[in-house]
Amino acid sequence: MLLRVLFLNLAVAVAKLWFGYATGAVSMISDGFHSLTDSAANVMGLVGSRASGKPPDEDHPYGHRKFETLAAAGIFVFLLLAVIEVARTAIARFSTGAAPSISVWSFGVMGVTIAVNLIVVRYERRMGRELGSELLHADAMHTQSDVFTSCAVLGSLAAVASGYPVLDPVGGLVIAAFIARTGWQVARDTSHILADRAALVETDIREVVMSVPEVVGCHQIRSRGSADHIFLDLHCWFSGDTTLYEAHRLSHVVKDRLLQTYPQIKDAIIHIEPPPR
């Protein structure tokens, strides 16, 4: 499914880039690179889906989910290069002052690409509901934001056709800012995962653990991973007269309650301890 969406997004991006370079419209070129970010997101989704379906092995006991993070890091590099290319083209246009060649075909290409994006949004939303896929829902929202960007490009082309060519590179720089913002978000989220930043709020976890009446307390709560693939470990205190068998059984009650409350937890390790003196 994501493969179909990838081909559609690539077709939209190629159409914008080809026609943008052919006519010299910086705003179209910028929007073409912006559309490529959708394709990059699809690639990350495909890599993530394949990686998450691969079970842990001897070399990767925690699974292969971080390959998706590595793919995201590669996408950040691509976005950085796209911002540099768009900004360079826009600044060069300011220097030369040349006006792009705007025709009815320019508006036609943008209109067709907007229609394709709307079809993709509707398709992803429908399939996302049927499959319960958060990935498809998120990608639909991303593609919908591109529709608004493309509408802004149409406004920029209309302004150029009306005798205001300076608005073409201005539109390009605005879109470059959108791409840079996306790149910053990807870099931020990727760095959080690679640096093992806490994935869950400690107080929320403690509240769930303490909902088991026999638990005296807990500490050393640690979580890491991506938003939908989290590893958790913590230390649970049980009364000193609790048998090892009973403490072990209760630790599974705690674990089951955590997994029920947070389905995104892939695994939770509960360490059994007596309360501190």
Dihedral Cα 235, 238, 244, 249, nearest 10 deg:
-80
Task: Calculate mean pLDDT across residues 135-152.
Answer: 69
- Checking 144-152 for CB contacts under 8 A at 24+ apart, the result is 144/117, 146/31, 146/34, 146/35, 146/38, 146/117, 147/114, 147/117, 147/118, 147/121, 149/31, 149/34, 149/175, 149/178, 150/31, 150/110, 150/113, 150/114, 150/117, 151/114
Instruction: Identify the CATH homologous superfamily for domain 202-273.
Output: Cation efflux protein, cytoplasmic domain (3.30.70.1350)
Residue 78 near residue 38, CB atoms below 8 Å: no
Same topology between domain 2-194 and domain 202-273: no
DSSP 133: -
Question: What is the third-level CATH fold of 2-194?
Answer: Alpha-lytic protease prodomain-like (1.20.1510)
Reported as a pLDDT band with limits 50, 70 and 90, residue 204 is very high
Identify the pLDDT of residue 91.
Answer: 83
Sign of CA dihedral 131, 135, 136, 138: positive
Give the Cα separation of 104 and 106 in Å (integer).
Answer: 5
> What percentage of the chain has pLDDT greater than the value 90?
23
Task: Render pLDDT for 22-40 as a digit per residue (tens, 0 to 9).
Answer: 888 888 888 888 787 777 7
pTM exceeds 0.85, yes or no: no
Ordered DSSP codes for 20-64: HHHHT-HHHHHHHHHHHHHHHHHHHHHHHHHHHTSPP-SS-TT-S
Q: Exposed, middle or buried, 212 (CB in 10 Å: 0-12/13-18/19+)?
A: middle
151-158 average pLDDT score: 82
Q: For residue 29, what pLDDT is reported? A: 84
**Torsion over CA: 120, 122, 123, 124 (sign):** positive
Q: Residue 29 and residue 19: Cα distance in Å, rounded?
A: 8
- Write out pLDDT tens, residues 214-257: 999 999 999 998 877 899 999 999 998 889 999 999 999 999 99
Average pLDDT over residues 101-124: 84
Average pLDDT over residues 173-198: 82
- Predicted local confidence at residue 137, as pLDDT: 59
Separation CA 257–CA 211 (nearest Å): 9
- pLDDT at residue 43 greater than cutoff 90: no
Domain boundary assignment for the chain = 2-194, 202-273
DSSP code of 229? Answer: E
Average pLDDT of the segment spanning 144-150 = 74
Return the bridge partners of 218, or none: 236
Residues above pLDDT 70, as percent of the chain: 89
List, in sequence order, every beta strand (DSSP E) within the chain.
Answer: 217-226, 229-237, 265-273
